[in-house]
Amino acid sequence: MSTIADPFTSGPVLSSTGPGVVAAADSLMAAVSAVDKLGSCSADYDALSDAELLAGQRDLARLRGLVETRSVWLAKTLAHRSRRELGQEGLAARQGFLSPDELIQEMTGSTRQDARKLVDVGRMLGDAEAAQEAQAARAAQAEDESAIAPGLFDEFTPLEEPVALPWHAPISDAVSTGALSVAAAHAIRTGLGDIDSVVTGQTLADAVRTLLEESRRMNVDALLKRSRRMRDSLDEAGIAIREQKAWDDRYLRVWKTPAGQVHIHGLFPPEQGEFIVSVYDSLTGPRRGGVRFVDPDRAAWAKAVQDDPRSTEQIAADTFIDLLKAGAEVNPNRMLGGRTPAVRVLTTEPDQRPVRRPAPAPVAASAPEPDDILVAIPDGTGHGYIEGNPAPVSKESIDRLICTSGTVEVVFDTDGQPLNLGREERIFSQAQRLALAARDGGCRWGTCDRPPSQTEAHHLEHWARDHGHTDIRLGILLCPPHHRLLHAQGWQIFEHHGRYWSRPPASVDPGQVLIELRSNSPTAPR
């Protein structure tokens, strides 16, 4: 069986006379024939037995895989013939399209996303084939040189670096053979990301081998999540960088239409975004078939929401305005809210016996609500995940969230069965928060003028490290940006006889000179 040398033709294309062409054609025709035998109308399919239906689904999946493999080969070639350096002479440009994605979308009627996946996987396939061809050419050249004058070229010709295959080459091979779908290949590739200073090509190649083995037992959504989390575990240092990028990219834009209507458009980092989603879900859940409430008052509220003549979107819009009014009318010298979502810590006991723990002391905060945002910290990792969001949360952000919320410890045995469920602790009561507002007068960081209503209560003693207590003396008000800065950069705050001092990290001040944090309260001593 011979192959065409150009790595950008259309996959590992077989020569027109090779026996592999007949085998490939027979396989495709056999799959087409099997599907065609199922029938030509809906009534034919209704008449199939259960066994025939299941067999037909397998035949259809096999045919789809064979067609999909050829779609990738075609997309790869279209992309190569439409590459940027060809300019207006590229194939897509000559057909009136700005990119091969648009050309494929127009010709197939697919979504832009599906067309882009085909092109991305096709390009990945082309990169792998180009490297394989270069390897083969290098080997052939070395063989020819050795045959002409054995040992001569070894003495006078400097050794060339061997051509390394891309780390994603096994993904390309799996797609070419039909063992991996385009969607699965794209999930692994995008989930693992790219090589950087921390994650090497060899590290990603090892991860690919693991994921290809696991892909047989996963759907595409699960495979994407697994790939992303594997990348997170390989590059925990990069989590904080990506997290900061998400915060830097946040925005909210408001503009008016000629008719006087107002548009709102925004982008929020996962932490803020999941809070917005949780509020929306709690407001519209009953309308969308949410939880059934046993409590009579909550049940009556849910019934009122269901019977409300407004649409779900109208309820959300009106409630958003109510929230803005409440925030605008609040006394800025009072603290808003008595609690924030809990941080759920997942740990595994070394044995499988139930663990008895002393019951925590009662606290004034309420128990977790069904619509809490919970941050899960998998055992043995330095990062966590906000429930319902695939983006990882750095250790520094988890420490900050624990400062203003509680922890719920969920203990598992080695078989993954939950043994023990703790409950929230580490929360300042409403009375304590009011006392903090009166004492601090708002954020105490430098010259910050944020009022108490825009602050969070920071615990001076680290919850896990120092076994910190929820004590007014050991709490201080910080606005969210300064609270994030403190945890992200490693600042520390100390209390001494009622005065508070911050110590900068050595990266900010090598001498780490203490800075006094003065109260903004008008009644504080000066």
Judge whether 384 and 377 are in contact, CB under 8 Å. Answer: yes
Any idea what DSSP says for residue 117? Answer: H
Judge whether 377 and 402 are in contact, CB under 8 Å. Answer: no
Judge whether 345 and 399 are in contact, CB under 8 Å. Answer: no
pLDDT band of 417, cuts 50, 70, 90: very low
506, two tokens = 């050595």
Closest CA to 345 of 391, 388, 395, 390: 395
Q: What is the pLDDT of residues 489-511, one digit of tens each?
A: 889 998 888 889 999 999 888 99
Closest CA to 499 of 439, 429, 441: 439
Q: Report the C-alpha dihedral over residues 336, 288, 322, 300, rounded to 10 degrees.
A: -80
The reported pTM is 0.51
Find tokens 């066994």 and name the residue: 51
| Beta strand spans in 179-323 (E) | 251-256, 262-267
d(CA 481, CA 165): 45
Q: Report the C-alpha dihedral over residues 82, 87, 92, 94, rounded to 10 degrees.
A: -130
161 or 250: whose pLDDT is higher?
Answer: 250
Question: Given this model, what pLDDT does residue 405 score?
Answer: 60
Element (H, E) at 500: strand 499-503
Mean pLDDT computed over 471-486: 84
CA distances from 474 to 79, 256, 363, 378, 463 (A): 61, 47, 16, 29, 11
Say whether pLDDT at 348 is over 80: no
CA atoms within 13 A on the CB side of 20: 9
Q: Which of 119-123, 243-247, 395-399 has the lowest mean pLDDT?
A: 395-399
The stretches of 17-168 forming alpha helices (DSSP H) are 19-36, 42-46, 50-81, 91-94, 100-108, 112-148, 152-156
352, two tokens = 């499988």
Buried b (16+ CB within 10 A) or exposed e, 51-68: eeeeebeebeebbebbeb
502 strand-pairing partners: 493, 515
Averaged confidence pLDDT in the chain: 74
Question: Given this model, what pLDDT does residue 375 score?
Answer: 60
Mean pLDDT computed over 208-237: 85
Any idea what DSSP says for residue 3? Answer: B
Judge whether 96 and 130 are in contact, CB under 8 Å. Answer: no
Question: Given this model, what pLDDT does residue 412 score?
Answer: 56
Q: Which of 36-50, 178-192, 328-342, 491-505 has the lowest mean pLDDT?
A: 328-342
Say whether pLDDT at 64 is over 60: yes
CA distances from 472 to 71, 429, 436 (A): 65, 10, 7
Q: Report the C-alpha dihedral over residues 367, 370, 373, 379, rounded to 10 degrees.
A: 80
Q: What is the pLDDT of residues 119-173, one digit of tens each?
A: 988 888 888 888 888 878 877 777 776 666 555 555 545 545 555 778 888 988 8
Question: Given this model, what pLDDT does residue 425 score?
Answer: 47
Q: What is the pLDDT of residues 171-201, one digit of tens each?
A: 888 888 878 888 899 999 988 888 876 788 8
Question: Given this model, what pLDDT does residue 16 score?
Answer: 38
d(CA 265, CA 252): 6
Tell how strand 262-267 and strand 343-348 pair up. Answer: unpaired
Find tokens 């069965």 and name the residue: 417
Closest CA to 191 of 120, 278, 288, 114: 120
Say whether pLDDT at 286 is over 80: no
d(CA 397, CA 409): 18
Burial, 425: exposed, middle or buried (Cβ in 10 Å; 0-12, 13-18, 19+)?
Answer: buried
